[in-house]
Amino acid sequence: MEKDKELLELQILLIQDYFKKIAGYPISITESECNALLNETNEDEEKAAQILYARIQSQENLEKKQINNKIIGMENVIRQAIKKFKLDNLLQSGITTKKIYTNLDGTLKESGSNVLSKDRESRFRGWHGIDKNMPIYAIFYQTIVKEGDFFTATRTYHFSCCVLESGVSFAGIIQTDAWGKEEDGHLFISWSEIEEIGYTSNINLDIENNNPNAYFVPNDPAFAVVNIVNCLVFHSVEDSTYINIPNVYFTYTGVGITETVKPFLDEVLQGYGKLYEKNEEWYNELSNELKTLVENKEYQKLIDRVEEVKESIFTEVFYYYKICGLLELNYQYEAFKLFDLFKLELERIKDKESDEYKRFLSWYLITEAEVYKVKGDSYASAYSYDKLANMYKDDSTQNREALTFCETEKEKSYNNFINDFNKVDYQDRKIITVSKTESLFKSNHLTLLNMGNLPKIHFPITHPKIDHTYVCHPYKTDSYLPIENYDYELLNDRINEYCYLLQCLGATSITIENSRGESKDTQTHSNTKWEGEASLRVNSVKFNSENDKRAGDLSKSTLKIGRNQSFNPTKKPFVPENLVWLANEIGWQRLIEQRMSGNILEHSEFMSSTQSQVLTNSEISDINAELNLLFTSIKGGRRKENEQKIETNSEVEWKINVVFKPMEAFDEVVVVPVEEKKQIKEISQNSLSDEEQQYLEEVKFMLEDDGLIDDKERIGLDEMYKMLKISSERAKELEEKAIAQIHTFTETELKYIEEIKFMLEDDGVIDVQEQQMLEEMRKTLNISVERAKQLENIVINRGDLSKEEKEYLEKFKTFTIDVVVTERERRILNRLANLLGISEERAIELEKRSS
């Protein structure tokens, strides 16, 4: 279906705005250009602008091929052949339909004297896709006019052949005012592709069209104007194929071609062969020289040398050696910037089946592996070697030495990753998939691990399982839980630790009951210590009956935590050691203080599975897509239909009631040592380093004004935790701790907050009807209007943004770099919000958050 006109216009405007910010000058883009760029970048306007800028700064694919086939010394070979066969004086000047232009002194001339005008030269270069800096040494040109009749329009055919250092280029161009103009013909043949040049007179098109080895210029218009076709035949050096090039491309016919044009091309081809041998020797010597500089660790000399020969070597070879040299000299910033350009060059090559692309990609991957090594990302480095090894395996030539090198380096990098696994940032290893394979896979969320070579991590009983995905425990970061029920497992773990803490604090009774979900008549509590039913409420995804059954079975098997326990404590209250959750549970810490002070006898706490979730709905959706890619790459197919997709689990909420034994009722007098009081009062602070305490205080300071961390404050905090050498995982823990300390809520406020979250789940906005429901709840819970509004703001500003909302915010920030949003930019933003499915009210909220 044709793309919506409004969306296309918006995307053109976005690409133009991004381009202007990158290049510093405006550009116009046609609809077809826009569509091509967006198809290439998966609808990413910013990336499209980057690629467009890179293409303008670089030469086109044809020119790149011409440069790559350039042989040093070819300029002299071609000019000597022009003089030998007197091409510069073959045709008399004044003939309008046939021309030969030659370049003996840096300027293209006709008959050795009349200089080719810049306009006409630009037209030839445009027809052939030749950059203005690429020398053309000879042009054969002929025009033929085919008069129209009652049914057809007149057509002018322009046939030309350009002789270059790297090969010969052919163009058959049709000019007409009629509708439905035929395609033009284009072909470039490098000298390295030609074994010999033959000649055939009056070829039989029927025979040639049925010969699988015979080829022509694609869309060649010559056969529309020439009845008797004589051809120069270019035979391939690789196989038995050949290309027929009609005589109209060479100006001359018959004897003129066999006595002049063909001998001229033969002379150039022979000269190329001799130079090629010398150049091969030169390239081999250069290759050995560069390798020696690397082995001797003479990296500055290496950089200087590749700069000297930059114009004579492949672009990818230049990038590899220069980036490696910069990395070894610890010029990381320069190396990473150059690697970004290398990446753009790779993206610019469209034909991913071409030999050029494969060659380019192989150098890119080995460079990428070295870059990741320096960045400390051992898995990404191993993954790059893995992709390169797979390329060598697919290569029919089977470069065994290169394959062995890649496999060895891959194994080294993977083992480094396994050995340092627990040092890897939590976010980079939060989700793993375990499979019985030596293949590697890395995406935005997933990391694939080999079942036979796992790091020192812990799994539940009966795990790990093949082709299973796991989520890392947020606080026991050496433990992984099955992704399908990780939130239930975390809730179970959290409740168990909390009950153990209550028992150590002198509880006489602990009762756990379901507080949300199934009807009360399905809940039974006897004198047994462990029983209960899970309450289910759909959190954010729709379940069919099969999914409901799955969710119910899963929660019942995982969350049999209902209990009714009685105790007779005799030991004075104490805080046990090695608790996992306590350092991050401000409410628990406050309860400890109250208990040790002796002024609390009963307490109730609500715990929900949603409080333990570390994955958003959009992340789960992305993970499912990434799992499909993973299994496609390692098994050659998608997951089996009977393998369930990962779903967001239904919410389960429990209420824990505790009764404490009065402090004065203990047999011995309870005296809490001063040291223990200090530990209890500052339980989280005692475990903080000076840097972590400094970061915690800074977060609190930023929360004091409006209770949230805005985007500007976020940038400052990100810089601060990196400067203080605090991991992103630990920084997040400290922020949650600071937020919990700033935002203290009563039980009724917590219920109100949960209801606000539920209202926001569907569309991120509280509509009029939902507001009325909240108002009724506010009155029931006896919360003031001011406090209710404050709670709403806290939840809205702390909630996770959807992928669409993040995209809108990103575009909004781009338009507000110069502070003022123009009328045109506002129009684009309004249409963008509409296209992303974001309401006007929500868009305003997002913009306020960003400002």
pLDDT of residue 842: 75
Question: Do residues 780 and 742 touch, judged by C-beta distance below 8 A?
Answer: no
Stretch 593-621: mean pLDDT, rounded?
Answer: 87
Phi, psi (degrees; rounded to nearest 5) at 36: -65, -45
DSSP state of 458: B
Q: Is the pLDDT of residue 380 over 60?
A: yes
- Among the residue ranges 292-296, 383-387, 575-579, the one predicted with the least confidence is 575-579
pLDDT of residue 64: 42
Whole-angstrom distance, CA of residue 799 vs CA of residue 845: 12
Higher pLDDT, 764 or 265: 265
Pairing of strands 507-516, 480-482: unpaired
> Could you identify the residue written with the tokens 């569907």?
762
> Could you identify the residue written with the tokens 């270069």?
125
- Among the residue ranges 6-20, 347-361, 420-434, 455-469, the one predicted with the least confidence is 347-361
Residue 303: closest CA among 346, 280, 334, 337: 334
Higher pLDDT, 554 or 298: 298
Q: Is the pLDDT of residue 339 over 90?
A: yes
Whole-angstrom distance, CA of residue 144 vs CA of residue 172: 11
Chosen CATH of 297-419 out of 3.40.50, 3.80.30, 1.25.40, 2.30.29:
1.25.40
Domain residue spans of the chain:
5-55, 64-273, 297-419, 484-614+647-673, 688-744
- Among the residue ranges 101-105, 157-161, 296-300, 817-821, the one predicted with the least confidence is 817-821
- Among the residue ranges 91-95, 334-338, 780-784, the one predicted with the least confidence is 91-95
Q: Look at phi and psi of residue 506 and say left if phi exceeds 0, alpha if psi is from -120 to 50, else beta.
A: left
567 contacts: CB under 8 Å, gap ≥ 6: 503, 507, 508, 509, 510
- Written as one letter, the residue type at 305 is R
Average pLDDT of every residue of the chain: 80
pLDDT in tens, 47-78: 888 888 776 655 444 444 444 445 668 899 99
Q: CA 703 → CA 315, 698, 757, distances in Å?
A: 51, 9, 21
> Could you identify the residue written with the tokens 């021309």?
99
The sign of the torsion formed by the CA atoms of 596, 600, 601, 605 equals: negative
Q: In this structure, what token pair is assigned to residue 134?
A: 């690429």
**SS3 state of residue 366:** helix
Q: In this structure, what token pair is assigned to residue 40?
A: 């290439």
- Among the residue ranges 171-175, 455-459, 466-470, 709-713, the one predicted with the least confidence is 709-713
The sign of the torsion formed by the CA atoms of 351, 352, 358, 359 equals: positive
pLDDT in tens, 216-244: 999 999 998 888 889 999 999 989 999 99
pLDDT of residue 469: 95
Whole-angstrom distance, CA of residue 363 vs CA of residue 337: 17
| E strands, 436-580, in order | 446-450, 468-472, 480-482, 507-516, 563-566
Question: Do residues 64 and 359 touch, judged by C-beta distance below 8 A?
Answer: no
Q: Is the pLDDT of residue 554 over 50?
A: no
Q: Look at phi and psi of residue 106 and say left if phi exceeds 0, alpha if psi is from -120 to 50, else beta.
A: left
Whole-angstrom distance, CA of residue 251 vs CA of residue 141: 6
Instruction: State percent of the chain over pLDDT 90.
Output: 35
> From the CB of residue 179, how many other CB atoms can be counted at a distance below 10 Å?
6
Whole-angstrom distance, CA of residue 170 vs CA of residue 139: 10
What residues form DSSP beta bridges with 101? 110, 139
Question: Do residues 264 and 244 touch, judged by C-beta distance below 8 A?
Answer: no
Whole-angstrom distance, CA of residue 766 vs CA of residue 776: 14
pLDDT in tens, 90-148: 765 556 678 999 999 999 998 767 899 998 999 999 999 898 888 999 999 999 998 88
Residue 339: closest CA among 355, 314, 322, 360: 322
Stretch 736-765: mean pLDDT, rounded?
Answer: 72
Instruction: Give CA angle at 666 (661, 670), nearest 5°.
Output: 105
Whole-angstrom distance, CA of residue 409 vs CA of residue 849: 47
Helices (H) and strands (E) in the chain, counts: 30, 19
Pairing of strands 602-608, 185-190: unpaired
> Could you identify the residue written with the tokens 């010597």?
285
Residue 17: closest CA among 607, 671, 814, 793: 814
